[in-house]
């Protein structure tokens, strides 16, 4: 009985440790909802055009290009340059777009005086944008950053650029298109009309 209890405690400890250091830690409450997309890159190869390791994007294939002179090693890009990401998205006019970017990174090993030693994230196109960033240390110098971005009006596609003299281990991007209230009301009225039609 004691042996089983020790094994169970070890399993729980290992599981808790892996959950605490998982990179996809802030899952948006709307992931998987209508109008949303999800893509994750773990960078398992040195391909400068890596396909996502996980993708759920009904609007098309996301594209990522790594442009760096320093290269890749063991699943980590030594950026000292730029990552460019193209995300096709729900082509709805009006409303707004919510984007969550989870980035696991740490400052570069060979600092470049002309590049910041932290991520610089930009999103286009946009007329209006708000962006918030939260950081958590993961140990051994690694940092987990969550960017929450709102764009309005909703664009049918986004270009995201990540720059800096940094090492990048993992990238997760979620988006959702939120229609404007008038569109939501029209959708609601359409649903009510369908319900009434079915009852008749």
Q: The domain spanning residue 174 has which CATH number?
A: 2.60.120
Distance CA 15, CA 130 (A): 36
- Report yes or no on 21 lying in a domain: no
Range(s) of the domain holding residue 178: 36-189
Query: Taking a C-beta distance cutoff of 8 angstroms, is the pair 171, 101 a contact?
Result: yes
Cβ neighbours for 59, distance < 8 A, ≥ 6 positions apart: 37, 88, 89, 90, 91
Is pLDDT of 2 > 70?
no
User: For the chain, what is the mean pLDDT?
Assistant: 82
- pLDDT at position 7 is 37
Interval 149-176 mean pLDDT: 94
- Report yes or no on 49 lying in a domain: yes
Cβ neighbours for 147, distance < 8 A, ≥ 6 positions apart: 99, 100, 101, 102, 103, 121, 131, 132, 133
- Report yes or no on 16 lying in a domain: no
- Report yes or no on 184 lying in a domain: yes
- Report yes or no on 137 lying in a domain: yes
- Report yes or no on 179 lying in a domain: yes
Q: Considering the entire predicted model, what is its pTM?
A: 0.79
- Report yes or no on 197 lying in a domain: no
Distance CA 94, CA 73 (A): 42
- pLDDT at position 93 is 78
- pLDDT at position 199 is 52
Q: In this structure, which long-range contacts are made by residues 68-71, counting pairs with CB atoms below 8 Å and at least 24 apart in sequence?
A: 70/108, 70/110, 71/46
Q: Which DSSP category does 120 fall into?
A: E
38-79 confidence digits (pLDDT tens): 999 999 999 999 999 999 999 999 999 999 988 999 999 999
Is pLDDT of 197 > 50?
no
Taking Cα atoms as reference points, which of 145, 121, 125 lies closest to residue 135? 145
Q: Which DSSP category does 50 fall into?
A: P
* Domains held by the chain: number: 1
Pick 38 or 157 by higher pLDDT.
38
């Amino acid at each position: 009985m004691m042996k089983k209890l020790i094994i169970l405690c070890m399993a729980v400890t290992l599981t808790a440790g892996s959950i605490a250091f998982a990179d996809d830690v802030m899952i948006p409450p709307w992931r998987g909802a209508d109008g949303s997309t999800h893509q994750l890159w773990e960078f398992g190869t040195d391909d400068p055009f890596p396909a996502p390791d996980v993708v759920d994007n009904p609007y098309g294939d996301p594209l990522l290009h790594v442009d760096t002179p320093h290269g890749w090693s063991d699943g980590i890009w030594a950026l000292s340059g730029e990552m460019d990401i193209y995300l096709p998205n729900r082509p709805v006019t009006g409303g707004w777009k919510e984007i969550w970017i989870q980035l696991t990174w740490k400052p570069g090993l060979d600092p470049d005086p002309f590049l910041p030693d932290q991520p610089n994230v930009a999103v286009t196109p946009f007329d209006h944008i708000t962006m918030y960033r939260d950081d958590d240390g993961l140990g051994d110098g690694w940092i987990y950053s969550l960017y929450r971005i709102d764009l309005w009006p909703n664009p049918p596609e986004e270009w995201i650029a990540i720059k800096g003299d940094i090492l990048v281990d993992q990238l997760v991007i979620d988006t959702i298109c939120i229609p404007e209230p008038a569109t939501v009301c029209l959708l609601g009225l359409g649903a009510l009309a369908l319900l009434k039609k079915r009852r008749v």
